[in-house]
């Protein structure tokens, strides 16, 4: 018995080969469907990658907006901006980018950009801060930027500072000795110890952050406030001013809306961008006021 298989004819082999090489219409549709799905998945992954890269390189800021002179902007609101993030970027840098690239009407104060002028104090993520000193990298998203609380808003992030300046002027913030040297060019020397005592108080940059954080100032419009009292401390504790002038300063400070209104909450000290121990200075002036009124007979 032969085990040899019958040989397949050339015609049958050709038909069989054609059947294997020519896919059906259903196979073609399924293949096209798989290709479209693969292309869509690749596109989706690319978009997600772009979004992830964008999120890593941008920061979201929410900026308070208000303009009483423009119809449609008289109702306070928050505008959202996405700004490119760079190492070392400050809140002020982000605001400047948003103004220059997205909305030229965005209004805020700034000047030196070195935490010296005090013009860009704002309420950032729930705390009074200098915008030029505050690093974006240290804040959580979104970075919420508002004008200083307890002050009238003029436009966007700009507040009316006139009341603050009036309180500063009320304590007569200038050096005023009882006697002047006969020689106009003679120095009025200060001891090293006395300079160290008043040194921190001289760092005030009139930014108004402490006044904005003070609950007493918020409820008492006549309260001198921590910045003004600190300025008075700087001169009252200066040994170069005579006893008579120091007594006059203490009389200003011990009035009803002076040092005795302070409730020692330390909120002013916490927000001061120059780390001035404002609350300690106020307490020391309270002690001086008490001693000033003591009578011994």
Q: What is the pLDDT along the chain (297 residues), one digit of tens a residue?
A: 444 545 555 555 555 555 556 777 777 788 888 888 888 888 887 776 665 555 568 999 999 999 999 888 899 999 999 999 999 999 999 999 999 999 999 999 999 999 999 999 999 999 999 999 999 999 999 999 999 999 999 999 999 999 999 999 999 999 888 778 888 888 888 899 999 999 999 999 999 999 999 999 999 999 999 999 999 999 999 999 888 888 889 999 999 999 999 999 999 999 999 999 999 999 999 999 888 776 554
Give the number of other Cβ atoms within 10 Å of residue 192's Cβ. Answer: 7
User: Structurally, what CATH architecture does the domain formed by 162-177+191-293 represent?
Assistant: Orthogonal Bundle (1.10)
Domain ranges of the chain: 56-159, 162-177+191-293
Cα gap 226→259, rounded to integer Å: 9
Q: What pTM, to 2 d.p., does this model score?
A: 0.77
Smallest CA-to-CA distance from 136 within 66, 200, 208, 57 is with 57
List the Cα angle 288/294/295 in 5-degree steps. Answer: 150
Instruction: Let me know: does 167 contact 86? Beta carbons within 8 Å.
Output: no
Q: What is the CATH number of domain 56-159?
A: 3.10.20.30
């Amino acid at each position: 018995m032969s085990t040899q298989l019958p040989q397949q004819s050339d015609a049958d082999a050709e038909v069989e080969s054609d059947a294997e090489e020519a896919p059906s219409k259903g196979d073609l549709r399924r293949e096209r469907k798989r290709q479209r799905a693969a292309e869509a998945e690749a596109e989706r992954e690319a978009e997600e990658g772009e979004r992830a890269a964008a999120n890593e390189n941008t920061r979201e800021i929410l900026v308070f907006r208000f303009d009483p002179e423009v119809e449609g902007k008289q109702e306070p609101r928050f505008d959202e901006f996405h700004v490119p993030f760079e190492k070392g970027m400050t809140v002020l840098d982000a605001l400047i980018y948003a103004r220059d690239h997205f909305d030229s009407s965005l209004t805020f104060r700034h000047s030196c950009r070195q935490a010296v002028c005090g013009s860009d104090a704002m309420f950032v993520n729930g705390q009074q801060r200098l915008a030029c000193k505050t690093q974006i990298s240290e804040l959580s998203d979104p970075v919420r930027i508002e004008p200083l609380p307890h002050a009238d808003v003029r436009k966007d992030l700009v507040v009316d500072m006139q009341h603050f300046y009036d309180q500063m002027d009320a304590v007569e913030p200038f050096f005023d000795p009882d006697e002047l040297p006969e020689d106009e060019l003679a120095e009025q020397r200060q001891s090293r110890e006395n300079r160290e005592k008043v040194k921190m108080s001289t760092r005030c940059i009139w930014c108004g952050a402490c006044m904005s954080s003070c609950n007493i100032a918020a409820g008492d419009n006549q309260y001198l406030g921590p910045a003004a009292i600190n300025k008075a401390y700087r001169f009252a504790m200066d040994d170069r001013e005579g006893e008579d002038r120091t007594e006059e300063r203490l009389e200003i400070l011990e009035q009803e809306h002076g040092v005795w209104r302070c409730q020692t909450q330390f909120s002013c000290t916490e927000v001061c961008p120059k780390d001035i121990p404002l609350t300690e200075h106020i307490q020391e002036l309270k002690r001086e006021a008490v001693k000033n009124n003591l009578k011994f007979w």
